[in-house]
Amino acid sequence: MMIHFVLLISRQGKVRLTKWYSTYSKKERSKVLRELSGVILTRGPRLCNFVEWRGLKVVYKRYASLYFCMCIDPDGNELEILEIIHHYVEVLDRYFGSVCELDLIYNFHKAYYILDEILISGELQESSKRTVVRSVAAQDSLVEAAKEETGSTISNIIAHAAK
Amino acid sequence: MDAKSYAICFKPSSSALKRSNTTRNWYRVAKLEQLKTIGRELTKGSQGGFYQSKEFLDLVKSIGEARSKAEEDRIVLSEIETLKRRISEPDIPKRKMKEYIIRLVYVEMLGHDASFGYIHAVKMIHDDSLLVKRTGYLAVTLFLNEDHDLIILIVNTIQKDLKSDNYLVVCAALNAVCKLINEETIPAVLPQIVELLAHPKEAVRKKAIMALHRFYQKSPSSVSHLVSNFRKRLCDNDPGVMGATLCPLFDLITNDVNSYKDLVISFVSILKQVAERRLPKAYDYHQMPAPFIQIKLLKILALLGSSDKQASENMYTVVGDIFRKCDSSSNIGNAVLYECICCVSSIYPNPKLLESAADAISRFLKSDSHNLKYMGIDALGRLIKISPEIAEQHQLAVIDCLEDPDDTLKRKTFELLYKMTKSTNVEVIVDRMIDYMNSINDNHYKTEIASRCVELAEQFAPSNQWFIQTMNKVFEHAGDLVNIKVAHNLMRLIAEGFGEDDDTADSQLRSSAVESYLHILGEPKLPSVFLQVICWVLGEYGTADGKYSASYITGKLCDVAEAYSNDETVKAYAVTALMKIYAFEIAAGRKVDMLPECHSLMEEFLASHSTDLQQRAYELQAVIGLDAHAVESILPSDASCEDIEVDKALSFLNDYIQEAIEKGAQPYIPESERTGMLNISNFRNQDHHEASSHGLRFEAYELPKQTVQARIPPASLASTELVPVPEPMYPRESYQTTTVPSVSSDAASTELKLRLDGVQKRWGRQTHFPSTSTSNSTSLKTVNGITQVDGSNTANSRTRETYDSRKQVEISPEKQKLAASLFGGPSKTEKKSATGHKSSKPSSHMVKSHAPKSSMEVASEKTSVQQPPDLLDFGEPTVKSTAPSLDPFKDLEGLLEPTTQVSSAVNHSSTAAVTKSPDIMGLYTETTAGAHHKDSDILSGLSNPPMTNMVGGTTTMQVAQSSKGPNLKDSLEKDALVRQMGVTPSSQNPNLFKDILG
């Protein structure tokens, strides 16, 4: 298992997304969140983007006010994980169109769908951004189709106007 | 396996033009799609955009604005109540239900219990509409672990969905398979997943591979017959599927290298093709050809080439090529370089490659980036195993890292030092480790570093004196954290000496131990484990050299027992030590006068609630009443190392038994001949499975045949082979039973170990209690370390600064000394010049670190100097200068908005001047300064060529981008929408709108 869990934490310590690939009980999860946000949010700039934690390593990167953290085994390649994080952020950016924290707050389920196309059971599943975005778009198109049937006419008008 | 065919598949099939066209088209479509969505959301704004109801948006908003955890909890709890009520109403429309489930996911994500809704999520996956099903699958994968009871209700649906015509349904089901299918249910879906390996859609094949990989991790035997399928998929047309196949192959090869040696050529050939850019452009990442696949392949090659000269020789060329081709200015390039170093240090050594690796390491170490230094230190640790001399070139860099304020880097450096410890440098290294250990509060790491100190001290101790002192330091500061075995080892070492047949040295060791312990006892609070050692040593050797009188030692022991009156283990050790002292006195023919405090102590113990203490006290009383001869044979002095012969057959009882039988008693029936009794001997044996079969079984049915086979975990293979496949049982049970006895066997092994110690030999009962002492000793020391750290930070940077400034002239003698003692030689002059060159660069920021917030000019200078070479970090300086002062919900720090914004604006403009994208950055400044929170899309604005390439690569593309760029429309719409929802105290939380990739 390459990645044990993925966390998105805001600078205020608010949880934006959690995905657990290894098994953690509810109690352990909140403990992990508490401990790690304590460690990571207090780290100064310019230090390593890695933290050793309970014999594992947590790789984190800050994007604006949001920290993306991934926990890996001690023998993992930290730089690679940093790039996996960045890969995820780039895909998010493509999907939402200059993604901001608010996008993720209100559309966390979409952030999950995208993550599910990038990582699966803790391993990198797809490293091509285009493939990821396409497969998420394919799922969305079905959703769109379903919406379209019931959607209001005004939305169609606006959609046309936007074209 | 035909690697050639693979090459053909990967021939760049489309021309560059065609590719860019498709990209552009795709992009246009995506952009339109997005506009459409926003339009739709706008129209629905009043009822709540983003497809969610006002209620949910309000919930998210109020949680966002909660000022304390308590307030947040209150909001969430009331939400749970609402959901509980709503979700059980009859006839909820699907759309509404979908939203409830999403709300449940949100509640769970915040750490609350939403288990009441799990069943509804499970119901959702049964739905025919993919839209609803997808939400259901998302929720169950987030809610449930693989051992949840509801899984059994899901398996059926998964089976059905795996057969669906719609590949998206299959994909959704496969995602769930990866997370939820457990050992028991693997057989239920396995055949279908194997079929899916040939599915026309690559997304399905890829996920099917990943699912099989997951099965392999859970139960290797379940997929062991599928290895050929993995090999076949390695030649899949789709690079994504091929890349995914590397995951299971990596695990398979880790467990059994030799079966896959034939694949070396194929892997090398694939890696070569990847490095030669023969994969589709879509797999390029920041101008590197498929770096993630390269990394995975290098990991596999490292395994295959390990101590195999022939296999390694096949790899040299390609690894050498990658070393040359890697772009060391990008982060991903360095990630691949690091993996190359790992590979080179694992395969059969090749001088040329080692040289390249050493070069890469020195680049890492000389870098200004902490990340790269960290990787460099790690890589150095790998390479010194093969070429130890390489460490010497980097001695000053290593010492710099050791003194760095960054804890992570420091720890990594300690790890390196640990690996390169020799008898010549052990003193310096262990001293440093202990100093560091004393300065931190992280118990987990403290334990680790303490055990490393102990290990190094035991292995390389230059003298007994030093050893005892070092152990004292370790115990004093981390005594409660170290394993109890360490204490037992120490006692044994003091008892046995260092193994040489030199009695005077041994007694010197003991005397110095006694002396130092008597001294240490003056300290106010000592860890329990350490006190046990002290008591034992004082009991055995306190009076041995005649320097201290019995009454002095016993007085000290009584003090210990009184001072630590709530620690029974320590008290027990103290009583036994007292008994030994008195016994030695009696045996030596001296008269024993019990101290008054000792008397009162004994009275207390005789009435103690602890039977253990009581017994010890009674034993003490009894011993004191005996004559010298008897005492001598019970407790001979300095005999802790003598073996005790145990008459296991208890032959001395024969007469007694004979007598009893003659009187009509039943003769003894050996255990094995008795029936209907629990087989005790088995219980302690390794085969826990057998033992567990005697327990109650709650399962109604036994498993089908295949799972029995699948059940056997790899670790217990050896032991289960001894068992004639005893009983099919559920894996969960086997899991529990294997863990429980492993604890007991662990305890058994410590008991075995303990018997080697003098104490245990003589006083058998003691073997039981030391194990308890560890549990009570793990109290957390929570000290607020923030101020401390700050202090050390500045102090450190100050010393660094002086060091740096001096280094340009000459390396500080202190550091030279340290280097000499660590690396065994004074630093040479040519190295000095190298580091001098290095120090010239960071010197400007060294000045900075003194006055972090002094002035704007300095700040801009900082960013200009420190502009990281890493293109990923291009936006970092801006983020760093603004973000810390701005706060979306403004709940933690009450920072004043206007001032921070002005300062951030200035910062921006100054940064903009130095970075090469003045126009866009200027625009950004404008928006922030004006306190209007539009998205300033830095990504699109940056005229960073690699980045642009990554997104599209053609001019039209750039046009499209710049229209996306500052994208007023987009951001205005977003802003308007959010205002409509009432989430926007916009002047206060600009960060929420900030492009996070910027």
**CB-nearest partner of B240 from A47, A79, A126:** A126
Contact A130 B40 (CB under 8 A): no
Cα distance from N-terminal residue to C-terminal residue, chain B: 45
B233 vs A: CB within 8 A: no
Residue for token digits 């008269």?
B591
What pLDDT score does B142 carry?
Answer: 93
**CATH annotation of A3-162:** 3.30.450.60
Contact B40 A23 (CB under 8 A): no
Percent of chain A with pLDDT strictly greater than 70: 87
Ranges of residues in chain B whose predicted pLDDT is under 50 = 1-24, 26-28, 31, 36, 38-50, 679-693, 695, 707-809, 826-966, 982-987
Instruction: Give the whole-angstrom CA distance, residue B544 versus residue B584.
Output: 9
What pLDDT score does B195 carry?
Answer: 93
B956 vs A: CB within 8 A: no
Chain A: give the shortest CA distance to residue B36, in Å: 5
Ranges of residues in chain A whose predicted pLDDT is under 50 = 151, 153
Chain A: give the shortest CA distance to residue B111, in Å: 6
Contacts of B143 in chain A (CB under 8 A): none
Q: Is the pTM of this model over 0.80?
A: no
Q: Read out DSSP for B31-47?
A: HHHHHHHHHHHHHHGGG
Closest to B126 measured CA to CA, from B160, B92, B151, B99: B160
B997 vs A: CB within 8 A: yes
Contact A98 B967 (CB under 8 A): yes
DSSP, collapsed to helix, strand or coil, labels residue A68 as strand
Contact B995 A101 (CB under 8 A): no
**Mutation choice for A interface testing from B408, B449, B782, B989 by most A CBs within 10 A:** B408
Binding-face residues of B in 46-105 toward A, CB within 8 A: 50, 52, 57, 60, 63-64, 102, 105
B995 vs A: CB within 8 A: yes
What pLDDT score does B792 carry?
Answer: 41
DSSP β-ladder status, A119-120 and A56-63 = unpaired
DSSP, collapsed to helix, strand or coil, labels residue A148 as helix
- Give the pLDDT confidence of B327-375 residue by residue, as tens digits: 888 999 999 999 999 999 999 999 999 999 999 999 999 998 999 999 9
Q: What is the 3-state secondary structure (H, E, C) of B11-27?
A: CCCCCHHHHHHHHHHHH
What pLDDT score does B500 carry?
Answer: 61
Are the beta carbons of B172 and B211 closer than 8 angstroms?
A: no
A74 vs B: CB within 8 A: no
The ipTM estimated for the assembled molecules is: 0.90
Please work out, in degrees rounded to the nearest 5, the angle formed at the alpha carbon of residue B664 by the alpha carbons of B662 and B668.
Answer: 90
What pLDDT score does B988 carry?
Answer: 53
Instruction: Give the whole-angstrom CA distance, residue B821 versus residue B413.
Output: 16
Contact A162 B411 (CB under 8 A): no
**CB-nearest partner of A121 from B31, B214, B280:** B214
Chain A: give the shortest CA distance to residue B559, in Å: 38
Tokens encoding B811:
């390396």
Chain B: give the shortest CA distance to residue A59, in Å: 10
Cα distance from N-terminal residue to C-terminal residue, chain A: 45
B147 vs A: CB within 8 A: yes
What pLDDT score does B976 carry?
Answer: 57
Chain B: give the shortest CA distance to residue A67, in Å: 10
B918 vs A: CB within 8 A: no
| Domain residue ranges in chain A | 3-162
Contact A98 B786 (CB under 8 A): no
Q: Which residues contact B417 (CB under 8 A, 6 or more apart)?
A: B398, B402, B429, B432, B433, B822
**CB-nearest partner of A64 from B39, B130, B991:** B991
